[in-house]
Structure 1
Amino acid sequence: MRTATATVMFWDNRATSLEDQALDPIRSKEEMRGDQFTEAEILDEVVSRLNANGDYMTLFTDAFGDSTINDERIAQALAAFERSLISANSPFDRYARGDESALTQQQVRGLNAFIDAGCNACHSGPMFSDYALHQLAVETNPKLTNAGIDDNGVDGKFRTPSLRNVALTAPYMHNGTERTLRDAIAFYNGVGNPSNDPDLAALDFDNNGDTIDAIEAFLMSLTDEGFDKTIPDAVPSGLNPGGDI
């Protein structure tokens, strides 16, 4: 099992640091690049736009000591911001630190059911992830395949996601085919094991309503309500910080 200080990222584990992963969403057509620029062109375009913006040049000077803006510094700036996003005060965290009143009785039952079923074989450690690749019998998402987007991971395997703040991150599975948290929990009842994964083979899930209710309640206890989700009113680019959604 990997540790949180050596975390691999993306569904296929291709990045090994925040700096390593920071620029890939910019390069990705489906995430930020779009059709106007090629993958080889997009970072040069981003650097050019930032260099043409006096506010960003001032900010980079404040951060790095001079106004040079390049790929490396963009990655460092993004990674530094990402490291400021700390979520460690959920009800479960308070319970783990000794506050037995932080979880309801139902949430404690859910925690025990989560462990008894073997869910923690993969969803383990402080981030509730072993950072390993596993293959599940997840249905294909036609929205991806019809758009020509690869939905195969690494030979059908995908990284175990963290469960922190999981109640806020619907839809679920690597391709969004499970719409609700309850759907995602029920998915594991009799889950297929196409790669004979020993962790999945050991999974013993009791699919009754009380158990699902309890596990769902436990997973909701992983939500840190104090996690900073602030969206600024404005950014130097002039773009809408909240997106056009």
Structure 2
Amino acid sequence: MNKIKKEKIAISVDKPLLTLIDALVDGTTIRSRSQAMESLLRKGLSQEYVHDAIILVKREHQHLLLEKINGKELICNHLALLENANIKQCYLVTPQTEITKKIEAVIPRKSKVAFNIIDEKEQKGNVHAVQLIQKKLSTNFVVILGDTFNQFDLKKMILFHLNKDKIATVGLMSHNQPSLYSSVELEGDRIVAFRNKKKSDSFVIDAGVYVFNIMLFQYFDTATKFLEKDVLPKICAVEQMNGYFTYGKYRHFGE
């Protein structure tokens, strides 16, 4: 087996911090200062990185997850997108039906993403659907609108989100009919206007894929029903939302 090539780097570290790092060297599991630093980096990145994803789909759109694109079902395309981004856990939030049984049946057995269907007994809007998973989430998580198809490097979007440290990062695409979708206006990376299916001079639209910080839930109340209509405009207003162009393949199955 070929060993992974390691790069040598030079860094400056405060002496008290270096003392703490050296204290991890036990001569068995961690045999050197460099191993100690590598162990801490791996642990820190693992805790910081995004591991959870939610797919949202209404009862009347469940059949779309079985539509084939690129030779495989849409739900399998979603899972491939998540697996390539090292997502470990995926929750499909939707009412339990005969169609959800068919969806479960097509999930690849070798998928590295654990897949669970959460029964949305009452459809009260996608805010309520996300709330059903709240206690299962830690810091940051991905949300995908199930009736969309996106093929791009989700990992880069996640790293962008973590680097910018905002509540929301919205995947973006260009479209010639922006009024059919949620359109946005940008200043650099920051979204300064978010309009849900309204006439707009901007041809940049919400692509139906998001990365959120857990602070998203602070913007939920009894009156909020939909992310696009009730929540994202509020987050935009407090300058806590960035946009990320996916530059990949996109399709809205509702078109």
TM (norm. structure 1) is: 0.29
TM (norm. structure 2) is: 0.29
More helix by share: 1
* Greater RCO, 1 or 2 (C-alpha within 8 Å, sep 6+): 1
More strand by share: 2
